[in-house]
Chains A and B, each alone.
Chain A
C-alpha cells in the first residue's frame, strides 16, 4: 500500500543586502553585479555578502559581464540547455540557461547575457545566455 501525500507551503525569502543589490541592478539597470572581496580579491558573481574563499564580509560591488566564456554545458531533454559561464571580471562561473542549440555550445566560446524586456528583480531577468553577437 502506498500513501500519497503532498506538501504545499509558500515561502517568502528576503534577498538581503547583497541579494537586493543584485536584483535591483538587474531590474533597473540591466547590469550584473558581482562582489569583489577586499581581503583576497576574489570576485563572486552574482554578488553575495561573504567571500566564499576567505569568508570576509568586506566586499565591494563591481559590474561583470555581460559577456564571458562558456566553461561547461549540458542539455536536459524536455528542459533545455544549461551552462556554466565565467563572466568577464568574475573568478567563478554562473549556472544559467543557454539559449542556443547543442551545436552552438562549444566550451571556450564567448557567450553573453540576454536580458528580458520586462524585468521584475529576479534572476530570470536574465533570460539566458546566447553566443556573443559580432564574434
Chain B
C-alpha cells in the first residue's frame, strides 16, 4: 500500500459587502447606542437584525421602531468546545455563555454572548442588558455581550 499523501492549503479570502439602506440606518443607530427594528406592515412582526423583506409576507420593510437595549433571555447555553473562528483562522476559546434574547420592542430574538458562563446561574426568563464596547464602529459587535441583571419574572 502506497504512502498516503495529503496536501494542506489555507483558504484566505476577503470580501467587501455592501450593506444596503436598512443596515446603514441600523449601523448609524448603533454608533449612538440606539437599537431599532423593522416592523412589517402585513404581519406586524418587528424584525431584528434588519433585512429588506418580511420572509412571511414578502413585503418590503420600511417602518422603523425603537427597541430597548434590554430584554429577556428566551434560551441559553454554555459552550465548552473551542471552535476555529473562520474569520481569523484562530481558535475561539471556551467556555462562553450564549443566549437568544428578546429585546423589549422586538419580536425576533437576538443570538448573542452572555457575560455568564456557568449553567447554575442561567435560566430562561432572566433579564439581560447590552454591554457596549468603548469604540463604536456601527457594527453588530459594538455590543460586546449581554449582562445578566436579575432573576426572572
Contact = CB atoms under 8 A, between A and B. Distances in A.
Contact of B9 (A11, A20, A21, A121): A11
B7 A4 contact: no
B7 A122 contact: yes
A2 B86 contact: no
Contacts of A24: 2-3, 5
Interface in A1-33: 1-15, 17, 19-21, 23-24
Most buried by A among B3, B9, B27: B3
Given A1-B23, A3-B17, A10 B5 contact: no
Chain B contact residues (Cβ within 8 angstroms of A): what range?
20 to 34
B150 interface: no
A20 B2 contact: yes
Contacts of B138: 1
B87 interface: yes
A123 to B, nearest CB: 9
Looking at A3, A12, A21, A122, the one whose CB has the most chain B CB atoms below 10 A away is A3
Interface of B: 2-19, 23-24, 27, 84, 86-89, 138-139
Interface of A: 1-15, 17, 19-21, 23-24, 121-122
